[in-house]
Chains A and B, each alone.
Chain A
């Protein structure tokens, strides 16, 4: 069956360090992969999208990589800040039209001052 896995354990890091979150998938060939941030009691907020033919994408302190051979995406936050503390979700778009996203359970990140 199709599956998306993210680190189930919470990630705790010191302020200023780089946080790296993992998203692995099986039995998909996604056209796009997206990362969202979700704070408690709020809806997900879109961060970055990467296409299947892109290896890496950057936006300010965020970087996403996409390895279709390993079936894995890594999400990096450099120079992390306490305000980066949240749950980060990855979502796959199989069809290329972004209509029906398949979601991971998310990884909780805590950045300690």
Chain B
């Protein structure tokens, strides 16, 4: 009965490298959300995806960041040419996608990205 699985748990990258964060939703969930959490800013919505479809990416920076949720496999949040300001905890959540306000989001344990 696995919950939302994120890997890696910790990721260290040097400036200019690429970071790939993976998220496998809970079984039966077709919707995935990505959030970024900084200590002084709280959780910030980045993007919401269904299989093969980005529904809302209004919280995602226009450059260097991209997300996908392919038909097979996990959702990927990709950060190109990382900078120190990208250091944060990135959380993925999933939901059943039943619609309405009762479509509760379940969170993974997060990936802590550190950019040296």
Q: A residues within 8 Å of B by Cβ?
A: 31-32, 34, 41-46, 49, 51, 89, 91, 93, 96-106
Contact = CB atoms under 8 A, between A and B. Distances in A.
B43 A99 contact: no
Interface residues of B, number: 28
Interface string B92-116: 0101000111111111111000000
B4 A43 contact: yes
Given A49-B104, A96-B100, A42 B109 contact: yes
B39 to A, nearest CB: 9
B48 interface: yes
Contacts of A41: 109-110
Which residue, B40, B42, B45, B58, has most C-beta atoms of chain A within 10 A? B42
A98 B107 contact: no
A46 B56 contact: no
Contacts of A96: 100-101
B69 interface: no
A106 B42 contact: yes
B11 to A, nearest CB: 14
Given A44-B91, A105-B42, A106-B42, A97 B109 contact: no
B55 interface: yes
B48 A32 contact: no
B56 to A, nearest CB: 6
Interface in B40-56: 40-45, 48, 55-56
Given A103-B43, A104-B42, A98 B104 contact: yes
Contacts of B95: 98
Contact of A100 (B40, B42, B56, B110): B56
9 contacts: A34-B104, A43-B91, A43-B107, A46-B104, A49-B101, A91-B43, A98-B95, A99-B33, A99-B48
Contacts of A51: 101
Which residue, B42, B43, B59, B104, has most C-beta atoms of chain A within 10 A? B43
Contact of A98 (B42, B56, B100, B109): B100
Contacts of A106: 42
- Across chains A and B, which 3 residue pairs bring their CB atoms closest together, nearest first? A43-B107, A32-B101, A103-B43
